[in-house]
Structure 1
């Protein structure tokens, strides 16, 4: 039996530090039997706070794994740059400990926000674990299963 509505939402992406956070939270399925997930983008800084509804397709999950691989290799990376939803661009500082995360909403609010966060070696392990947890909670046909 497929679990369709968990007791708690799952944070697919959680970037935080320096008093800032950018979270992509999966809250459920768009419809029973659908491969599309519903969620929200949550940005919280001392200056800006906002939430934006979003949808996450199986290809977005594949793309997030590729984005993680690129970041783990020490390169800047973008996620959902094809315009399928709120876009993330993560630019690594040369020191390797911080990143500037830019969230761009081309469709609804036409807004772009950048927050500085901390990226540690442990963050990468947790990020891959979050992706795997999302896929376990909401198995998707065609999604990369790690």
Structure 2
């Protein structure tokens, strides 16, 4: 299931959620395995990543920034791909996605995307679908202590 799907036919950026990392293990149950997919006529790539419930909240806040016309940075923690989105890039005249993998490959990709009206709302719908399919089911009551939500 896709969490993010930004594409104009030539260039594309997607984050696809593959499922729970360790279903039934309280400390890892809510962690989702995912992958970043970048495609263009020049380069394509795939990068594995993990998503915690806080990452979904952070993506929601990033969408709020983008809706307000501001740049957003998501997943900037030196251990996972950094994703920056500019809703309007002066140089390209379109939204631009920057994806950087500082932890492993040190590769950076810049994708200008000619996105349709309503693209932010479409991303909000994808986020809602991911949250519906994989709701947070574990509560961390204190460091190292997890319990199932009721």
What TM-score comes out, normalization by structure 1 length? Answer: 0.83
Q: Distance in 1 between matches of 2:126 and 2:52?
A: 16
Partner of 2:112: 116
Partner of 2:147: none
Q: Distance in 2 between matches of 1:29 and 1:121?
A: 32
**Which residue of the other structure, out of 102, 106, 125, is the alignment partner of 1:106?**
102
Partner of 2:63: 68
Q: Distance in 2 between matches of 1:98 and 1:56?
A: 28
Partner of 1:85: 80
Root mean square deviation, CA, Å: 2.0
Consecutive unaligned residues in structure 2, runs of 5 or more:
139-150
Aligned residues of 1:15 and 1:118 also touching (Cα < 8 A): no
Aligned residues of 1:17 and 1:116 also touching (Cα < 8 A): no
Aligned residues of 1:44 and 1:50 also touching (Cα < 8 A): yes
Q: Distance in 2 between matches of 1:84 and 1:121?
A: 33
What TM-score comes out, normalization by structure 2 length? Answer: 0.81
Larger radius of gyration: 2
1:7-22 to 2 correspondence within 5 Å?
Answer: 10-17=1-8, 19-22=10-13
Higher relative contact order (CA 8 A, sep 6+): 1
